[in-house]
Amino acid sequence: MPLNFVVDNICPTCGSTIRSAVIDLHPTDRDAAIHLLKCADCGYEKTKVLSLRPVPVLTAKEHRRGRQLMGR
């Protein structure tokens, strides 16, 4: 089932704001979704593939440790 969202993007063709977006599950990758944007003024379409995998959240201690390992 697709989800509808309002997303602000600029159309590279006409310069107007692209606001309509549809997100649907990727047909072959269970950890991805397809994000479709369409310009209402000129019809330009833009597609993005988004990851549905959760991003790990680091604690402050883990973050500091990572920076130390990178030499910062």
What is the predicted pLDDT for the residue at 7?
55
Instruction: Report the pLDDT averaged over residues 27-32.
Output: 90
Is the pLDDT at 5 greater than 70? The verdict is no
Beta bridge partners of 68: none
Q: What percent of the chain lies above the pLDDT cut of 70?
A: 75
Q: Dump pLDDT digits (tens) for 36-61.
A: 888 888 988 888 888 888 877 778 78
At position 21, the amino acid (one-letter code) is A
39 phi and psi angles, rounded to 5 deg: -80, 125
**How many Å from the N-terminal Cα to the C-terminal Cα in the chain?**
45
**What's the half-sphere exposure (Cβ side, CA atoms, 13 Å) at 58?**
8
Q: Where are the domains of the chain?
A: 3-69
